[in-house]
Structure 1
Amino acid sequence: MAMLVLEGEVCLCALLFPFLCPSLVDAQQYFLPLKWPRECGPREFFSSTEFICRPCGAGQQRAANGLSCICKPGYRLFRDYGGANITCSACNTGEAVTQDGWDCIQCGAMNSSTKILSNGKCACHNANEILVERTQNGKLLNQAGCQLCDAMPMAYTWPNSERNLCAKCGSSFIISAKSCDCSDLTVADGLCFSSSASVDARIDFPLLSLPIAVTSSWFAEHLLGARLACQNFRNTTACQALGNMCVMAMGSLRATSGPCQILLHIGTSSTGSHTNNIPTWPVGLPWIYYNHPTLPGDTRPILEAMALPNTFSTWDTQKRRLHIVLAKYDIQGNFLGYGKADGGKLQLCSDTASRIDSAYIFGTTYRQMCSISISVLQSHFPEPTFFEPFLEFEQNGQLHLYALPVLNLNLHDSFGTFINQGSDRRRWVLMRRFLLVDAVGGLGVPSSHLLRFVSSLSIFVTLVPGETLGRIFPPLLSLRYSEIDLETAGSDSMVQVSFSVDYSMKQGENQRQTDIALAVLGSLAVLHALQKTVSWRRRQGLHLLDLPSVVNFLIFFAGLLANVFFLVAFGTGLYWLIFYKNQQQVTVLLPSEQEEMSFVIYVSCALGLKFLQILHLLIFQTSVDIFFLDWERPRDAAEILAETSQTSMSEGARAKSTISIWRTYFVANEWIELQTIRKLSPALHILLTIFFLQVIGFENLALREPTPSLLPPLDTDAACWSRILRFGVCTSVWIVLGFLQIGLHSLCYERFIEDKIRQFVDLCSMSNVSVLIFSHCNFGYYIHGRSVHGRGDASIDEMYTNLKKEEENRCSCRGLLPNADVQTFEVATSINMRRRFEAINQTPAVVVPARLNGQALGVVEQNIQSYHIMNRFLSAFIDHAYKDMDYIVRDKTTLEKVLDMEIQEPLDKSLFYNDPRHSFSRVLCYGHSSTLLLFEMLLFCVVDLASQDLVLAAVITYFMQAAFCSIWQSLGKRNLAKKTLVDKRFLI
């Protein structure tokens, strides 16, 4: 009973399942069992329509491919509709199946020459017989018989490969054996030769990486036959096949009986003439070597002796392309015809048609690199195709071809040396024929399998120098091969391949002019550095040569030499930018990437030397002696009583009579802010540079492509960058934007909005504070900030009243001299004044701790006392109170302004030079805006040349200048607190 209930539940579930889970039922219909054809049994075939194994019918067995059935031996076809839809019928005992498989036939009497093979078909015993089963009209004979072919003269017939027809035997059999039977002679590659023709032929396939070789199946099967047929009969196809095997062997001369040596031996033993009078091209043989491989000699007559008649232009669409033509051969030596190199014939990397064909636009340096799988190489090149390159040109209305040389970098000489990898052109062996991929020659015995491919193919084009027609020397194809063992590497392994086109011309004259410019400008830099050193020594008060003088000379020279390197590099970049991009007939070409390395060295040296100059400038500006001279004096009691309208002084009034220090602190903080201001905004300048280079497209002018365009041409988007052009474009944009920004800042911003340098001078006057700066021991700058109103600590009413007086010219001028407005001076101090200043300044300022204690109060009192002594001394000095330390005010002579050097030495009196140009900005970044601009430009360009990334260069340059600005302010603030005796806690 329980079993019946269970069976009922199962049946109910089975009935309800399609309705409860319809999606699972539908999905089940798409499930297929995985079955491989190799898993089918010997009497089964794999049905490609059902993806399952099906049994073969009666009297049938699986075909070799496993996808259909065939009749078993002893069975004939009765019906055949393809696949497994056949019907087989058994033959009677003693009968065999005919060759076509449709009938049964007796094989003749036992004493006849016929026999039944294991496959159930008749065959003849003798090799020179054919099997006859039907009459000429196709009627089946009662018995199969054997017919002897006539191999003797007048007939010369022999069974064909199917042994059902007597065919004419080859000429080699007729000539060598005088018969179709070559059993007593030598058979090679299907040809018959006399025994004396049997010579040694190496069947080794040389490796590229090791001085060893593997046995090549292709060479073993075809080399001897090709040699004998070429040597004995001058068979064109055999000779071409022999040349192909020489190319497969990389033109190697290491094996004495290799294909290349065999080809050379046949050529030298020939007594005939040479094709086109070329010594290395015997008549009837392929032209494999451009120059003689055993005595190569100098290749310059081949590469540089003759200028091709082609003229190239950047504007004419017909004359702006390299028309390279390829003669093609298959591996058997058959000529496949001519074809243009366009369309990627020489490029293994796949790409768009425009990118591929842009390789042959004249003057465009082209680079293409990719990773490609081994399976793709095998599928695209199952057998190698051999090429001979030509350059097409027109002369007198007739098209001609010029044979181009090929430099195989993997060619071995007889000693196993890669002679073509050296720079000595006298040892180069140039070839004519090459291949791209070889998947046949490396098939070895018993199991080696090497795949050889071109890993690098370069076309070098050299322009004829000193011409205006745009002619070239014969281009050179340079190839480097690599090989991979397919036994160890999978078919999905990736290999790197590259293709490039390089243009060059002799740059000796340009390099000589560059060297002359460096020598001349470098000599001027030495003289200028000596002049600056002399000026520095005079300002330092030195009379004897010492180590600091030598160090400063080297630093001055480093900065000037950086300018020299920059000027030469900038001139070079600008020259190529103008003349290379503005030519119709191509007469000049850019230096090669190797020749550009000297240019990169110049720019890098300029950056390194300029960096030393910036470090020196940083140390110089953050270590100057500076003091804020306060002219403010305490008010007397009468002034205080008059202002307060009181009859006696209270405690508050007495406190009012003290001098406020806040004016000095305010001027000191303004000086700190002034230290890093410049005539341009670095961030804005960098943004504008990136905008013009990348957004507007000036960067595209740096392409190695002779047509000037801000937009990259669609057919040259694979062109690479030129470092020289890139530097020329970047520096031109940088300099133009820099000087434009500096000019707008000087002419517009400072004149109509604000001039921070003049504002600082005005602030000093309103604060009644002067500034004395010593950049050198005996030289510095003075800002006269003494108020014409006698007081700077004034109320708001007094301030406005004083300003109104100045506007109405009801007060004296602000200058140091009466009726003079000049407030800034260059100061050359006497020895006495400097000694007195240093004596007072010997007590260094001590940093006051944040919380005062007894010891800290003593430090504060010491600093205050030193401040008051220095303030009184400098006030008295300016007021001519010291007769032995007096000074005179004068203008600098024109020569002194040009040389930036004081000719007159201040022996007894100090010299104050009127300086309306505010030269004190030299101790600020403001006075060195051009130097900083040049350093940032060099940094930007060097980073860009190294990375080819403008954005990265911009980011690094911005953060570098920001870091320098932060360091500048920090060190400047520290020096200001130390030298001015102003408490650092009040410096913001």
Structure 2
Amino acid sequence: MAKSRQSILSSPYDDQPIGLPWLYYGIVNHESPQTTQQKIPNVVLDSTGLSGSLRLPFVLGVYHLNGSFLGYQNLTTQFQLCSTDSLTASNWDRVARDYTNTCLLNLYNLVSQNYDTYFYELFLAQPLGQLYPVPIRISNYRTVSGLQINRNPSMIDWSNSQLFRRFFLIDTASGIVNGATTIVRFPSSISITIFKASDVGKITLPIVDITYTEREISAISETDKSIFSTTPISFSVAYVQDYSVIKQVLMYTFVIAIAVGLVYAFYTTRLWSSRNLGPYDSIDIRFIFRLLVNVCGALGPIMGSYLFVVVVCFFIFFKIQSVLFIYIPYNPSDMSLVTMAVAGITVAEFVYIAKLMIVQCTTHVFFIDWERSKGYVVGSGNDETTAMISPIHQRVHVGFTLVALLALLEGLGWRYLATSYAGFSDLSIDTPNPLLLVAVDSLLWMLLIIVQVVFQAIYSRFHRNKLLQYIDILSLSNISLFVFDSQCHGYYVHGRSVHSFADTNMDELNNFLRKEENDMVPRRGLHDTNQQAFEIFVTRTMRTAFDKIFDQSIVLQQEAQRLNNMVNRLTINDIKGGSFKDPIKPAAEPQIKEYHQVNRFLRSFIDQNLKEIPYIIRKKTYFEQFFAAPDPSEGNVFFPNDSGYSRILLYGMEMHLMFAYTYLFAFVDTLTNSPAKAAIVVWVVHFIICSIRRHFGEINMSKKTLLDWKFLV
């Protein structure tokens, strides 16, 4: 009838028939769904309520089965069949608040309440009181030919959809047979989607997607827990916008970041190969493996920083807005992409950390003894003195960080800053958004790290710096530290004492220090300078000479003896009086001989008495500060670097550890929705790393320094 009168109809809305029920869109002018989707109601959304609506102004028009209009009512909790507390249920329409309410509904309780059947029309109330119609999309609607054109509806694409005006909530009338209700129909899913328009604070026409389900009343039982009598119900509200421009920008910057990381990894690997491999050595599996590990080491921090900036920007801009101009990504694939990125960064960092751990636990470490004899014979092995620093020394205390993080997230409720509510004041309990949760977790991690680093910088500046104190201890002990962490790269700490002897009493030691204070002795640094710590690059000639002198057979013999002693301590014959017999025995003569040979060689090298392997001391160029590798033609080069040797400690990989722990915590928190579980996982991983580094580091020190492991403190 309406179609036959199309030419004489007039209406505030192009598709609304006059004097007839408006059942669906396209009844008069065949307006396309895309055109309907682009309409912009005169509504401004403001999360503070100062410049627009604080709540979504939805209004329901209610009709009886016979078509009688029963009036208008505000949409509050009518769409929520799941029971929940009234405050949570009534806050679903708060602006910029993604909302989900799901449950398992017992249909027996629903049927027993004898709901009347009504038809509804949904409107959006505009500021001057006009009602703007909101379309309904029934996902399991069938055409006359049986096609389900609304199946798997898209939130942002209405094309080829059939839109409706009237709908029902509970239908017990259409299934009446012989005066008895045999079928009940109800919405198992209702979702409201709010689309952002191009103007700030404006939205395009919302859409409501409804999926209906029906059950035979005779088969519904109060005690039946199957899906037939107890069915899942959901109601949700989602705010979406077109992210195509943002995604394009992120894609371009992502590709650039990846390219920079790959170029850096390849270049550093090439520098390593040019210094450590011979001219006739081809690219082998070792080069490829190092390249892959360096890619992880380069991409981990780069992508970690990139993701941190992206999620924190989304978090800040979303939270500070009043009039809405940005929504949080809604697509599950986008959320999965964030989770995958977090997992990828975590894996890349731990791969690189494993490589650094292997390097640190296999470094060549040697203590050069500069002490001269006082004229009496020292017992074999008694001249073996060492100065040690903890291999797990770090500026950031992981235990404190985790406790403080849990106090902030759970104690103060800052975890719920990750919920999809604009503003910082609402900390009501709700499911966090994965993107915002990564932002909150990583932001708090970084803030706690920065606080500790700043504190340690101030503390070490005005109280004590363990790394510099270690250099002082070496100087007082008349011992230098020589380290190779790769074939032709390492560190040197010059601890040669400027005094006659290091083995002295307290009075003489104080006199020595007083002379230093009054500039009555040469400076402690190498070649009478103030510089004591260096990063060194040596030639293959120097390393070959070192390897010839450093006899691995002595190392293997020493290790076998150490293992044999450990076995003996566990036998009954070595236990007396309830305690282990573990005397400090003198070192074997071959070991002492080997130690003195290496000691003489390195002393001669440092004193520049080996004319065939000289070295130069110079500062790094600006370019070398980033890539840290001089041209091999320069020969042996010493670069001044006060704290460079910290790279053989956990201190030196602290940046990678913090990235790994941050994103490991965020990943576990996102999967389990539990900061406590995430903290436990991080703590266990940290404990394992520290234990491995301490245990194998001590074994390596004992082997490579040619000192018995019992001398290591």
Superposed pair shares fold, TM > 0.5: yes
Equivalent position of 2:578 in the other structure? none
Aligned partners of 2:587 and 2:708 also within 8 Å: no
Instruction: Select 1:736's aligned residue among 405, 426, 447.
Output: 447
Counterparts of residues 765-804 of structure 1 (less than 5 Å) = 765-804=475-514
Counterparts of residues 51-450 of structure 1 (less than 5 Å) = 276=11, 284-291=19-26, 299-303=33-37, 305-316=38-49, 319-342=53-76, 344-394=77-127, 398-422=128-152, 423=154, 425-442=158-175, 449-450=182-183
Q: Residue 304 of structure 2 aligns to which amino acid in structure 1?
A: F
SS at match of 1:286: coil
Q: Residue 469 of structure 2 aligns to which amino acid in structure 1?
A: Q
Cα distance 1:519–1:545, how it changes in 2: closer, same or farther (>3 A)? farther
Distance, in Å, in 2 between the alignment partners of 1:797 and 1:934 is 49
Cα distance 1:934–1:735, how it changes in 2: closer, same or farther (>3 A)? same
| Structure 1 position 862, deviation (Å) | 4.0
Cα distance 1:456–1:861, how it changes in 2: closer, same or farther (>3 A)? farther
Distance, in Å, in 2 between the alignment partners of 1:877 and 1:522 is 42
Aligned partners of 1:364 and 1:719 also within 8 Å: no
Equivalent position of 1:975 in the other structure? 700
Equivalent position of 1:38 in the other structure? none
Aligned partners of 1:535 and 1:900 also within 8 Å: no
Distance, in Å, in 1 between the alignment partners of 2:336 and 2:261 is 24
Q: Residue 166 of structure 2 aligns to which amino acid in structure 1?
A: R
Cα distance 1:841–1:367, how it changes in 2: closer, same or farther (>3 A)? same
Counterparts of residues 410-809 of structure 1 (less than 5 Å) = 410-422=140-152, 423=154, 425-442=158-175, 449-465=182-198, 467-468=199-200, 470-493=201-224, 494-543=230-279, 546-547=283-284, 548-594=286-332, 595-637=334-376, 654=377, 656=378, 660-664=382-386, 667=387, 670-671=388-389, 673=390, 675-709=391-425, 711-712=426-427, 717=428, 720-746=431-457, 748-809=458-519
Q: Residue 241 of structure 2 aligns to which amino acid in structure 1?
A: M
Distance, in Å, in 2 between the alignment partners of 1:949 and 1:441 is 47
Q: Residue 276 of structure 2 aligns to which amino acid in structure 1?
A: Q
Equivalent position of 2:637 in the other structure? 911
| Structure 1 position 472, deviation (Å) | 0.9
| Structure 1 position 936, deviation (Å) | 1.2
Question: TM-score if structure 1 supplies the norm length?
Answer: 0.64
| Structure 1 position 279, deviation (Å) | 8.2
Cα distance 1:518–1:545, how it changes in 2: closer, same or farther (>3 A)? farther
Aligned partners of 1:625 and 1:775 also within 8 Å: yes
Cα distance 1:879–1:430, how it changes in 2: closer, same or farther (>3 A)? same
Instruction: Select 2:667's aligned residue among 939, 942, 957.
Output: 942
Which protein shows a greater Rg?
Answer: 1
Distance, in Å, in 2 between the alignment partners of 1:489 and 1:868 is 91
Q: Residue 825 of structure 1 aligns to which amino acid in structure 2?
A: F
| Structure 1 position 326, deviation (Å) | 0.9
Equivalent position of 1:960 in the other structure? 685
Distance, in Å, in 2 between the alignment partners of 1:453 and 1:374 is 10
Q: Residue 689 of structure 2 aligns to which amino acid in structure 1?
A: F
SS at match of 1:276: coil
Q: Deviations over 1:372-419 (max 9, x none)?
A: 32232123343322221111113xxx4211111111112123454433
| Structure 1 position 277, deviation (Å) | 8.5
Equivalent position of 1:18 in the other structure? none
Counterparts of residues 854-893 of structure 1 (less than 5 Å) = 860-893=588-621
Q: Deviations over 1:781-804 (max 9, x none)?
A: 111122222433334454444344
Q: Residue 356 of structure 1 aligns to which amino acid in structure 2?
A: A
Distance, in Å, in 2 between the alignment partners of 1:377 and 1:383 is 12
Aligned partners of 1:381 and 1:437 also within 8 Å: no
Distance, in Å, in 2 between the alignment partners of 1:885 and 1:277 is 94
| Structure 1 position 486, deviation (Å) | 4.0
Q: Deviations over 1:13-59 (max 9, x none)?
A: xxxxxxxxxxxxxxxxxxxxxxxxxxxxxxxxxxxxxxxxxxxxxxx
Aligned partners of 1:373 and 1:492 also within 8 Å: no
SS at match of 1:786: coil
Aligned partners of 1:368 and 1:718 also within 8 Å: no
Counterparts of residues 776-855 of structure 1 (less than 5 Å) = 776-818=486-528, 820-844=529-553, 845-846=555-556, 847=559, 848=561, 849-850=564-565, 851=568
Q: Deviations over 1:864-894 (max 9, x none)?
A: 4332322222222223332222333333333
Question: Which fold has the larger relative contact order, with Cα–Cα distance below 8 Å and residues 6 or more apart in sequence?
Answer: 2
Aligned partners of 2:269 and 2:294 also within 8 Å: yes
SS at match of 1:347: coil
User: Any gaps of 5 or more consecutive residues in structure 1?
Assistant: 1-265, 638-653
Cα distance 1:291–1:841, how it changes in 2: closer, same or farther (>3 A)? farther
Q: Deviations over 1:470-517 (max 9, x none)?
A: 111111111123334444441245433221111111111111110111
Cα distance 1:859–1:769, how it changes in 2: closer, same or farther (>3 A)? closer
Distance, in Å, in 2 between the alignment partners of 1:858 and 1:955 is 45
| Structure 1 position 457, deviation (Å) | 1.0
Distance, in Å, in 2 between the alignment partners of 1:830 and 1:769 is 24
Distance, in Å, in 1 between the alignment partners of 2:681 and 2:350 is 15
Q: Deviations over 1:609-631 (max 9, x none)?
A: 22222222222222222112222
Cα distance 1:579–1:732, how it changes in 2: closer, same or farther (>3 A)? same
Q: Which stretch has the larger CA shift, 820-829 or 888-897?
A: 888-897
| Structure 1 position 348, deviation (Å) | 1.1
Cα distance 1:810–1:281, how it changes in 2: closer, same or farther (>3 A)? closer
Equivalent position of 1:229 in the other structure? none
Cα distance 1:922–1:718, how it changes in 2: closer, same or farther (>3 A)? closer
Aligned partners of 2:46 and 2:323 also within 8 Å: yes
Distance, in Å, in 2 between the alignment partners of 1:811 and 1:504 is 74
| Structure 1 position 772, deviation (Å) | 0.8
SS at match of 1:601: helix
Aligned partners of 2:2 and 2:27 also within 8 Å: no
| Structure 1 position 443, deviation (Å) | 5.2
RMSD, aligned CA: 3.1
Aligned partners of 2:3 and 2:27 also within 8 Å: no
| Structure 1 position 942, deviation (Å) | 1.6
Aligned partners of 1:461 and 1:502 also within 8 Å: yes
Aligned partners of 1:581 and 1:708 also within 8 Å: yes
| Structure 1 position 984, deviation (Å) | 3.3
SS at match of 2:269: helix
Counterparts of residues 923-938 of structure 1 (less than 5 Å) = 923-938=648-663
SS at match of 1:774: strand
Question: TM-score if structure 2 supplies the norm length?
Answer: 0.87
Q: Deviations over 1:444-490 (max 9, x none)?
A: 6899944332222110000102x13x111111111123334444441
Distance, in Å, in 1 between the alignment partners of 2:473 and 2:316 is 50
Cα distance 1:657–1:613, how it changes in 2: closer, same or farther (>3 A)? closer
SS at match of 2:633: coil
Distance, in Å, in 2 between the alignment partners of 1:446 and 1:626 is 94
For these two proteins, the number of residue pairs brought into alignment is 679
Q: Deviations over 1:46-96 (max 9, x none)?
A: xxxxxxxxxxxxxxxxxxxxxxxxxxxxxxxxxxxxxxxxxxxxxxxxxxx
Distance, in Å, in 2 between the alignment partners of 1:867 and 1:444 is 102
| Structure 1 position 282, deviation (Å) | 5.0
Q: Residue 340 of structure 2 aligns to which amino acid in structure 1?
A: I
Cα distance 1:268–1:533, how it changes in 2: closer, same or farther (>3 A)? same
